[in-house]
Structure 1
Amino acid sequence: MRLAALLAALALALALAPAAMAAEVANPLQPSALWDAMRLAVIGTEEEPPVDPAIFDLDAPPRADNPALVPVRITQPPGAPAIRALALVVDGNPAPVAAEFTFGEALMPLDFEVRVRVDSYSDLRAIATLADGRKVMAGRFVKASGGCAAPAGKSMEEVRATMGEMRFRAAEEDGRQVGTLMIRHPNFSGLQRDQVTLLTIPAEFIQVLEVKRGEEPLFTMEAGISISEDPVFRFAHAPGEGPVTVHAEDTEGRVWDQSF
């Protein structure tokens, strides 16, 4: 009887093992001396924020198809505490803080996507600040290299002709509105070369972005060089009234405002 019970327990364990392995994250955060060195400067404390998927999670591919266009999706389960601010950090990038976001109540629970550049094999992490001031972290280890120096996808003439153009698409999913905002801007990192002259292109990127619905803030972004060329933002939000308005500023003092 005892042997039969042991064999039954072993069979059950073997049956459950594949499911448990499938539930594991394929590319979890790795120990990072770079993060240890910058933690205080980035989040204002030496204390490591806990990783808690019950509050939020970050998804990114284990290996990027294009290091200059790495998709990042940040999500929360229903009922999770509201995230008021979030820092997106790529440990191995020349300027690790890709962007700092704030979020309005309409975006809770969060379902937010953006694309970033990844310059070397690196942890890609988000540090969220909750309404009560607590900090929580999520992230993935991404295999990619050269994203910050990858050449622009368009000629300089086309870049200049289309800079600041915006498109917005709205849809409905599971009772929420889902907006996709696309902005034409090269977001030059300062590490790229002109493919004709071979001269280094100075850094030139969107540094401020504000998105509202009517007078209600949806999200803001203060960004660096690690947000991708022609950035795309996808965000779910509660239904509401009024147009979606976008205000963008870049490092050269250009300003764009548009309403959808």
Structure 2
Amino acid sequence: MTRLALILMLLAAPALAQDGAAVDNPLQPSALWDDMRLAVIGTESEPPVDPAILNLDAPKRADNPALVPVHLTQPPGAPAITGLVLVVDGNPAPVAAEFTFGPALMPLDFEVRVRVDSYSDLRAIATLADGRKVMAGRYVKASGGCAAPAGKSLDEVRAGMGQMKLRQTEEAGRQIGTLMIRHPNFSGLQRDQVTLMTIPAEFIQSLAVKQDGAELFTMSAGISISEDPVFRFAHAPGQGPISVHAEDTEGRVWDQSF
């Protein structure tokens, strides 16, 4: 019986490890969040963490603090999310972005990359159609992401700024769009590697993605969205072109239709 029990435990170990990985880096108590909660979401009440409505996945330890992947998902049948605030507690400007989502993106399956400046909770606070708020998040070990040097020279940055690509695939009956935009998204904390002078903040501050005029998602962003931002989003198959409208802090505007 002892030998049988040991075999059963060994067979179950991979599944247990997989389940454990799902909670490997849960949110930690955060005095920073306690101080900013009211300003960010308009209430002192802590939104409940409810994986039946929203999940956030991010690495426990980031390979690159300037390119930390964040994956937001909902299980089938979860109530629709109309808006979401993405917060990195320890960043100089903690609110990374505010999103709105159209019905075609429900249930949510959305990815974006952010900068993380210090070991920190990374959290998403979603607003449901009935006004309720729920939260999901992870504790991420990363540092220096907001001041990390740009991946390209300033000449290369200027030459390609505003270029966009959209890749479309299909998965389980849904369209999967991957939108890539060339922009340095300078944080204001980086230095020119030649002159060693601080590069002023310069980033995409608003983005609207639509299909045939109907909203897929919008973003109002700060300095924490990564260089050359990439957005992966699942949506219901639709008709007509997908249009993208982007504006940055310098007043530049880019429009493209796919």
Could you say which residue in structure 2 is the equivalent of 1:243?
A: 241
- Select which of 47, 50, 55 maps to 1:49: 47
2:160 paired residue number: 162
Equivalent position of 1:138 in the other structure:
136
1:161 aligns to what SS in structure 2? helix
Question: Hey, what's the Cα distance between the residues in 2 that align with 1:243 and 1:173?
Answer: 19
CA gap of 1:176–1:151, structure 2 versus 1, over 3 A, is: same
2:19 alignment partner, one of 17, 23, 26: 23
* Aligned amino acid, residue 242 of structure 1: G
Aligned position for 2:120: 122
**Matched AA of 2:94:** P
Q: 1:22 Cα deviation (Å)?
A: 3.8
Indicate the residue corresponding to 1:223 in structure 2: 221
Q: 1:255 aligns with which of 239, 253, 256?
A: 253
Correspondence list, 1:1-260, <5 A: 18=13, 19-20=15-16, 22-24=18-20, 25-260=23-258
Identity between Structure 1 and Structure 2 (%):
81
Inter-partner Cα distance in structure 1 for 2:84 and 2:240: 26
Quick one: which amino acid aligns to residue 136 of structure 1?
A: V
SS at match of 2:99: strand
Name the CA distance, whole Å, in 2 between partners of 1:142 and 1:91.
10
Q: What is the identity, as a one-letter code, of the residue corresponding to 1:55? A: I
TM-score of the aligned structures, taking structure 1 as reference length = 0.94
The SS at the match of 1:128 is strand
Q: CA deviation at 1:215?
A: 1.1
CA deviation map 1:185-228 (0-9, x unaligned): 00000000000000000000000000000111000000000000
Q: Say which SS state the counterpart of residue 185 (structure 2) adopts.
A: coil
* Distance verdict in 2 for CA 1:15–1:177, change over 3 Å: same
- Tell me which structure has the larger Cα radius of gyration: 1
How many Å separate the matches in 1 of 2:8 and 2:31?
Answer: 37
TM-score normalised by the chain length of structure 2: 0.94
Q: Partner amino acid for 1:23?
A: D
Cα distance in 1 between the residues matched to 2:116 and 2:148: 10
Change (3 A) 1:16 1:86: farther
CA distance in 1, matches of 2:152, 2:213: 35
Gaps of 5+ in 1: none
Task: Please give the per-residue CA displacement for 1:161-182, whole angstroms capped at 9, x wherever unaligned.
Answer: 1000000100100000000000
**Aligned pairs, number:** 254
Letter in 2 for 1:80: A
In the TM superposition, what is the alpha-carbon distance from 1:184 to its structure 2 partner?
A: 0.2
Superposition misfits of 4+ residues, deviation over 6 angstroms: 10-17
- SS of the residue aligned with 1:158? helix
